[in-house]
C-alpha cells in the first residue's frame, strides 16, 4: 500500500471560552486593527473585556469577524448590511435547530 502525502492545513481551533486580543484577532483575519474596530463600532463584534486598553474577544469572534469581513469584501455589503445579514443568518440557524428538536422553541 502506498502512502499518500497530503499537505497539512494550517489553522487553529478556538473554543467559545477562549480569549483573543485585538492584535491577534486582526492578525488571524489578515486585516489591520482598524477593520476590527469598525466591526465593533457597528455592533458586529462585542468586546468581552478590556485589559488596560487592549480589547479582548471571545473565541467565537474569530468566525464572526471572518464571515463579516468576507461579506464586506467579496459581496461589497456595507457594515450595516453585514450586521443585519449576520443577525438574520443566526436567526435562521436558531430556527433550524428548533425544528430539529421538534419545534419546541420559536
Phi, psi of 14 (to 5 degrees): -115, 135
Q: In 29-100, which ranges are continuous DSSP H helix?
A: 33-41, 60-74, 79-100
How does residue 4 score in pLDDT terms, banded at 50, 70 and 90? low
Domain for residue 11, yes or no? no
Pairing of strands 54-58, 19-21: antiparallel
Q: How many domains does the chain have?
A: 1
Reported as a single tens digit per residue, the pLDDT across 22-78 is: 999 999 999 999 999 999 999 999 999 887 778 999 999 999 999 999 999 999 999
* Mean pLDDT of the 89-100 span: 95
Residue 2: DSSP 8-state:
P
Look at residue 61 and tell me if it is in a domain.
yes
Q: Is residue 8 part of a domain?
A: no
d(CA 72, CA 80): 10
Q: Which position has the higher pLDDT, 11 or 57?
A: 57
* Residue 39 domain flag: yes
Specify if 29 maps to a domain: yes
Lookup: cell for 1: 500500500
50 lies in a domain? yes
Q: Report the CATH number at residue 78.
A: 1.10.1660.10
Please tell me the least confidently modeled range out of 4-13, 78-87, 96-105.
4-13
The 3-state DSSP class for residue 48 equals coil
- pLDDT for 52 equals 78
Residue 12 has pLDDT above 70, yes or no: no
- Answer yes or no: is 14 within a domain: no
Query: Is residue 85, in this structure, part of any structural domain at all?
Result: yes
Domain range holding 34? 19-100
Amino acid at each position: 500500500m502506498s502512502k499518500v502525502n497530503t499537505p497539512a492545513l494550517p489553522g487553529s481551533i478556538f473554543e467559545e471560552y477562549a480569549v483573543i486580543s485585538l492584535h491577534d484577532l486582526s492578525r488571524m483575519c489578515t486585516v489591520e486593527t482598524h477593520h476590527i474596530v469598525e466591526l465593533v463600532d457597528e455592533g458586529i463584534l462585542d468586546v468581552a473585556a478590556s485589559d488596560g486598553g487592549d480589547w479582548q474577544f471571545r473565541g467565537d469572534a474569530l468566525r464572526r469577524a471572518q464571515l463579516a469581513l468576507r461579506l464586506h469584501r467579496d459581496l461589497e455589503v456595507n457594515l450595516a448590511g453585514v450586521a443585519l445579514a449576520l443577525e438574520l443568518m443566526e436567526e435562521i440557524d436558531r430556527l433550524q435547530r428548533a425544528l430539529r428538536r421538534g419545534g419546541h422553541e420559536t
